[in-house]
Amino acid sequence: ISYGQSTPDPGLPGPYSVTKEIYDLGDLAFLSSAEFKGSVHYPNGLIGGPFPLIVILHGNHPTSYRIWDSACGFHWPTVSGSKTIDNFDGYNYFAENLASHGFIVISLSCNGTNVMDKMSLRVKLIQEHLDWWQNLNLYGGLPFGSKFVGKIDFSNIGLMGHSRGGEGV
């Protein structure tokens, strides 16, 4: 009797090479008080498909840091002399691995909604991104042109969130 693993290790890279892009519609694009920004990892060239979609929402972390002393804070938009912390980029390792297995993975920035600290806004942010990506899948649009038209399988969506992001999911 063999008790060895009979399926491939999902922690190892899959057969697809991966492309990553960041999209950013502005710091005040969502409800005029929060950003509409994220990253997308996908199989290079999007050959084949449509591909399942995975949406990731990060938790409640500081949103900015001061340039002169690296002190972190919760401000949205960031205050003068501060830079935004791209918390959504913390899932790059995970998103890249999933994309190498044939998924389109978007990691949403929710710094602004975290500062407002309303779970309902996190939920709405996820829905707004899903609606936007569905339009990209159907018609294309800025900033991606027609790259994702017909490439996303909206009957196969996964959601993942960490901490407050998990509440939103």
Over residues 28-87, the pLDDT tens digits come to: 777 777 888 999 999 999 998 899 999 999 878 878 888 777 778 887 788 888 888 888
**Distance linking the first and last C-alpha atoms of the chain:** 41
Query: pTM, whole model, 2 decimals?
Result: 0.88
Q: State the greatest distance between any 2 C-alpha atoms of the chain, in Å, as a whole number.
A: 66
Instruction: Indicate the pLDDT class of residue 5, thresholds 50, 70 and 90.
Output: low
Q: Is the pLDDT of residue 119 over 90?
A: no
Tokens matching residue 138 = 């159907």
Token pair 């449509």: residue: 50
Q: Read off φ and ψ for residue 43, nearest 5 degrees.
A: -60, 130
